[in-house]
Structure 1
């Protein structure tokens, strides 16, 4: 039954099932948490080991994403080797393999050529793509720089040994030699930490494409959210990252959680990192403004606006006078307004309004008697029923609400 559901989820025929499963990945992603679960049942966690697990988790998550996937800064050789060892401790593939897939993800986001296409579902983008070989190869990505990088190639050649040492041996040995907690080091600093690091990283491809706001562009699934940032150790401002992938930051605000940004900035202070790439602030603000205007445009389109002057009938003075005997018509700025239903609501009292019926009340409305505000001008415009014919100056034909009106220009 489980196999049948999985086949349906991934669109795999029964005959292809075993050939398509990535058995090594499946083993790592199931055995690792299983060992953690066993350890949690048999070995009480010690406070020192818990602290070490949290510290090593933080080290693991700094990894090789922003340096080798996006070349967002330059790192000294010591920092490169350090980052390579830190990234290897996650046991998620070599930097060469990981960066190649991630570049395809950015180039072909939300398409069949995206190796962890979010449009194939939350489960698939989170972990499914790791468990089953894709029916379409990831799209082409330029990795010529990675092929020439001696540190990347060194790790790729020796990846399984390096990842085994950094992922399993180091966390165990530190806890064992440090405070004689060998099994706790293996279960918690090793297996627990690795399981959390796996799913924290996977959340970048899944949760960060489903939860939050499209702060800079809504044409792709990537989104920004504090919860995603907390789950992914700062990678959750993902809409920003997809718009400005070469930026060494994942977010620009000082209060936005992004430990990797702080780590890179600290390395720069000590001379270990340089050429930190930052997208021009004005361009970032343009993208923000675009989305804000788009949201306001939706609000604007749901508001009822006054009739345009060219849509109203042109009325002579005589006709205006005659009609004013039947209903409360007032002339202001060349527009004839029917204030019949507003007489009893007039804040200044009905008398002040009624004494202007059939007359030109432009001077009184526009500061002669009272300097009306934006709300009054906007409301008055909704009462327009005609335009007076002949020589009356239009003082304010555009209401305050219309002056900053958003116009969508179509290509």
Structure 2
């Protein structure tokens, strides 16, 4: 069958209203030649269509390994550790240079986290021109490509997370998502992602135009100059504040793509690989609460608690106080809590599924009063809330003594159990329910809320199960009120009681 790709060259009216205005092409660079959104014409089944109709490059083997390397990136990523090792053996570390290198690490790192990532990739806040130039220059000092190139890849990563259209998908392995995707030619072109909004930004154009000069100045030139003129440590400035600091910035940022998809918990959603962990946040200048970030990417925060480590959030907040940033976007707290609640319920559901529960009333035999009396002469059966219980395993374990159970064999002990003699604990109610062996014919108590063990009154039921429970409950009423479907939904019980009262 031939695939049909719907065309969207002429967007419908509702799309035109939100389509960015077109601007004349620029001759600055091929990256800026067009401001038309590149994803305006993609089909609804773009991911599936692309994966089925485009072939990836052949796998990398020992035979073709050398021809499949991206030698520019290999060179850049090899030079910094080589210079670091050389510096460690030839240049003594001065404490001023050491602390300056840490400061410069945060400066260039924030260029990526607060600039490339949260400002330009996700538009999570607005920045004044001075702040934009500051972040663009700092980002250049991290030597990770121009703003537009970086943002294009990152937007593709979010749109196609964990698919083969994700440029650094974690599903290909830890090394690939960390740096393999840069040093090996990509096996498949990343999925389409629009960056036409960035084409109109004069700061981004400036950075792209002078990118080579900027990385030479900001990555190595400026730190060498500051350490040299400041306290005479020219070599230390070059090797430690320059090369070593750059190596740490590289791998700090790479950890957002790798470690943040492997280490930690998924408190907001476990559909994809992103995870939250303090260690990842520590090594990525606050980008380690990645599960939250992938759920709410437009939020200027990664960490939402005051005690969580997110210096990038703190930096943006300070910039807002100074009038350099505005319109900080934060996802509604109500919706964030829904995500957390969903995952908490999911974990509880897993715990619930691992437990043993009482038999459903539909699975128990319906026993007449006469049969109950007869069987009670052969084994210890007690009637409570319309359910018949075999208490033989608990006769000698009963805290009040065997005699209290023995005197109620073959009798209705509902009143005594529910406070007449002793108001039993939740644990007692739950344990009793596990002893059910039948339902008394015509016994109305089993249809009351008393019949539901405390552990089941808040039992987690999926939407499909809830609908099934309500349906079965209604059906049981038409069958004589003695086969109540009771698969753990108190709501089903309530609906049945309402219908009885009506």
Name the TM-score class by shorter chain: over 0.9
Tell me how far apart the structure 1 counterparts of residues 96 and 290 of structure 2 sit (CA, whole Å).
34
* Greater RCO (Cα-Cα under 8 Å, separation 6 or more): 1
1:194 alignment counterpart: 246
| Pair 1:185-2:223 in alignment | no
CA contact 2:445–2:451 (8 Å) conserved in 1: no
| Pair 1:30-2:78 in alignment | yes
* DSSP 3-state at the match of 1:303: coil
TM-score by length of 1: 0.95
**In structure 1, which of residues 189, 198, 204 is the aligned counterpart of residue 256 of structure 2?**
204
Give 1:409 deviation, angstroms: 2.8
Tell me how far apart the structure 2 counterparts of residues 392 and 223 of structure 1 sit (CA, whole Å).
50
Give 1:390 deviation, angstroms: 2.4
1:108 alignment counterpart: 160
4+ aligned runs moved over 4 Å, structure 1:
13-19
Cα distance change, pair 318–17 in 1 and its aligned pair in 2 (3 A) = closer
* DSSP 3-state at the match of 1:385: strand
Count the aligned residue pairs. 402
**In structure 1, which of residues 247, 256, 265 is the aligned counterpart of residue 317 of structure 2?**
265
Tell me how far apart the structure 2 counterparts of residues 291 and 152 of structure 1 sit (CA, whole Å).
39
1:285 alignment counterpart: 337
Give 1:135 deviation, angstroms: 2.2
**In structure 1, which of residues 248, 251, 266 is the aligned counterpart of residue 300 of structure 2?**
248
Give 1:15 deviation, angstroms: 7.2
Give 1:13 deviation, angstroms: 5.3
CA contact 2:93–2:236 (8 Å) conserved in 1: yes
TM-score by length of 2: 0.78
Tell me how far apart the structure 2 counterparts of residues 331 and 102 of structure 1 sit (CA, whole Å).
65
2:94 alignment counterpart: 46
Which ranges of structure 2 fall in alignment gaps of 5 or more residues?
1-57, 466-502
1:6 alignment counterpart: none
CA-based RMSD of the aligned residues comes to 1.4
Tell me how far apart the structure 2 counterparts of residues 328 and 208 of structure 1 sit (CA, whole Å).
59
Q: Which moved more, 1:234-243 or 1:307-316?
A: 307-316
2:384 alignment counterpart: 332
* DSSP 3-state at the match of 2:437: strand
Tell me how far apart the structure 1 counterparts of residues 59 and 206 of structure 2 sit (CA, whole Å).
37
Give 1:185 deviation, angstroms: 0.6
Cα distance change, pair 391–110 in 1 and its aligned pair in 2 (3 A) = closer
Which ranges of structure 1 fall in alignment gaps of 5 or more residues?
1-9
Cα distance change, pair 314–105 in 1 and its aligned pair in 2 (3 A) = same
Question: Per-residue CA shift, 1:251-288, capped at 9, x if unaligned?
Answer: 21111110000000110011100000011111111111
Tell me how far apart the structure 2 counterparts of residues 26 and 347 of structure 1 sit (CA, whole Å).
74
2:400 alignment counterpart: 348
CA contact 2:386–2:439 (8 Å) conserved in 1: yes
